[in-house]
Amino acid sequence: MSLDAAVALRRGTLSLEVALDAEPGEVVAVLGPNGAGKTSLLRALAGLDALETGHLRLDGVVLDDPAAGVFVPPERRRVGVVFQDYLLFTHLSARDNVAFGLRARGLGRHEAARRAEAWLDRVGLADHAGHRPRALSGGQAQRVALARALVTEPHLLLLDEPLAALDAGTRGAVRRDLRRHLDGFAGVTVLVTHDPIDAHALADRVVVVEQGRVVQAGTLTEVTAHPRSRYVAELVGVNLLAGRAAAGTVTLDGGGILTVTDDAPDGPVLVALRPSAVAVHRERPSGSPRNVWAVVVTDVDRHADRIRLRLDGPVPVVAEITTAALAELGVQPGDAAWASVKATEPTVYTA
Amino acid sequence: MSRRRAEARRRTGHERLPAPALVLALVAVAFFALPFAGLLWRAPWSEAWSILTSVAVRDALRLSLVCSLSATALSLGFGVPLAWLLARGRFPGRGLIRALCTLSMVLPPVVGGVALFAALGRRGLVGRWLYEWFDVTIPFSTPAVVIAETFVAMPFLVLTVEAALRGLDGRVEDAARTLGASRGYVFRRVTLPAIRPALGAGAVLAWARALGEFGATITFAGNFPGTTQTLPLAVYLSLETDPPEAIVLSLVLIAVSFAVLVGLRDRWLGGARHAPAGLP
């Protein structure tokens, strides 16, 4: 049950070109901002949209190959989909929703109902079999949608933002349940999300898609340690700067200069800098920090007990300080200040 | 306005109409109510039962029901696929086809009857071949009544169902397809249940239009008691020969129509006001 996909298609102004491979039992998260083409990718995998070029193979069987003139319609693919807002059939009970795929494939009414109830039991909704979707909570509806997709024993499971429609209170519990079901699923799972927490909790691998292209792929740890785009850097909460490195000095594309450690690679590089590694001062600091530059505070943002200062200057960065430090500094948007960073703080890697 | 009255108004949520508008609205109500009051006032109540049970009236009533229900069935059978084509089809000239298929709604029914004659009459575009090859003559027969009624009634169903299909979230049908449902299965098990309120409303509208159909019927099917004389035609004929009978028959039509409007309002027409069964 392996997936081998090279998806290329156009949707309006979006041009999507994404290659995706996965082994049986693997969960791949497609991470990306809104409008990156994540949902278009899922629709192409499900067969709801056809490829313009490329190919799509599941278990070695060609499902879509425009060059060869092959297109298997969605109802003949062994693909299960959990849609973002679940799209349950509102005129059917939870049981009939789950049984729908079995009935559509010609299974008898009683056997379909029996299997549907077994699945509802597995997702902990045995008591809700007779309820209409309207009477279900968001978390319950999500579990019905999951059972509806899994009851037909698909080889490929597609999850489109499966947790986005849930409130923060139920998301954690539903995520844990989902993890458990994915662990027991033998096929390939492709999970589309814009939330790195979902990707971390559910996926083995991450593919970051921006504007229809894969910008980065690997394990979540690899991706977050060396972000290759502003989007990923913001997700992870680090400053990402691009420049050229030579002998322990990075000349940034914006004009600033950062001194880094000597073992940094030369040539075009990306520099990741944690906001908490940026110190902010009222007066020009003296002493050890190798990097000191004048800044203007453009924004003061509160996150719980942490303060994020957006600093404009030769090296535009976000600094994170404590509430106490802010009180001591007494800066406001528009104020001039000084920023400093130790040479050992920036992570430098080849772009 | 006193504070208390303003407060009372706010509580009940009723907005007081300006007096001139209220007067005009009441005149409009009277305009619709008075003709019915007139009919009730002129009705020959003592003869009503004997008129209603006469053979001619029973025939007309039976014919009206049979033909209007047949026309409704035909409208459903052909109109739902047509509505689906108009709502989902992607082809040039779709707007033109919609205009063509709903033209009979705004056309004077007599013109519709003449047009049907030109097409299906014994010397018409299609009718001449039907006559020559199959020895079939359509005009002035009960099928002609059904055809005339379908011609004017189907657009009501088509437009109602098309609007509902357009309002449907196509992704729900996508979801059904990913579950292994063929297009036909999706239509039967997902699309149809979702548009059922509109289907009911459209069918009732089409049926009411068919029941009241006069112009196209008398032109294309004539006015033969027992075979083509429906209730509206019988009313027209008896107005000249037997006015009390015309009044009683009119009351029958009114009673049937009114019962349909009131009885089905909550079930069908009311249901169409809401979004089709829970779709966002």
Contact A73, B177 (CB under 8 A): yes
- CB contacts, 8 Å: B280 with chain A: 85
Segment 91-110 of chain A within 8 Å of chain B by CB: 91, 100-101, 103-105
How many C-beta atoms lie closer than 10 Å to residue B170's C-beta? 12
Q: What is the DSSP string of B119-177?
A: HHSTTSTTHHHHHHHH----TTSHHHHHHHHHHHHHHHHHHHHHHHHHHS-HHHHHHHH
Computed on alpha carbons and rounded to an integer, the radius of gyration of chain A in Å comes to 25
| CATH number listed for the domain at residues B55-278 | 1.10.3720.10
Closest residue by Cα to residue A95 from A78, A115, A75: A115
The domain ranges of chain A are 3-88+136-232, 237-350
How far, in Å, CA of A287 to CA of A18, rounded? 49
Q: Which of 2.60.40.10, 2.40.50.100, 1.10.3720.10, 2.40.128.50 is the CATH number of A237-350?
A: 2.40.50.100
| B118: contact with A, CB 8 A cutoff | no
> At how many degrees (to 10) do helices B231-241 and B243-264 cross?
150
**Alpha carbon distances (Å) from B77 to A142, B70, B73, B199:** 37, 10, 6, 11
How far, in Å, CA of A159 to CA of A175, rounded? 12
* Predicted complex ipTM exceeds 0.85: no
Quick one: fold of A3-88+136-232? Rossmann fold (3.40.50)
What is the value of pTM for the model shown?
0.76
Segment 166-185 of chain B within 8 Å of chain A by CB: 169, 171-172, 174-182, 185
Cα nearest neighbour of B182 on chain A:
A75
**Torsion, Cα of B262, B268, B273, B277 (10° steps):** 150
- CB contacts, 8 Å: B174 with chain A: 43, 46, 48, 74, 87
Walk along chain A (351 residues) and give the pLDDT tens digit of each residue: 789 999 999 988 889 999 999 999 999 999 988 888 999 999 999 999 999 999 999 998 999 999 999 999 999 999 999 998 899 999 999 999 999 999 999 999 999 999 999 999 999 999 999 999 999 998 899 999 999 999 999 999 999 999 888 888 888 888 988 999 999 999 999 999 988 888 888 999 999 999 999 999 998 888 888 888 888 888 778 888 889 988 888 988 888 888 888 888 888 998 988 888 898 998 888 776 778 888 999 988 887 778 889 999 888 899 998 888 888 888 888 889 999 998 888 888 887
Walk across the sheet containing A267-273 and list its strands.
A257-259, A249-252, A239-246, A267-273, A347-350
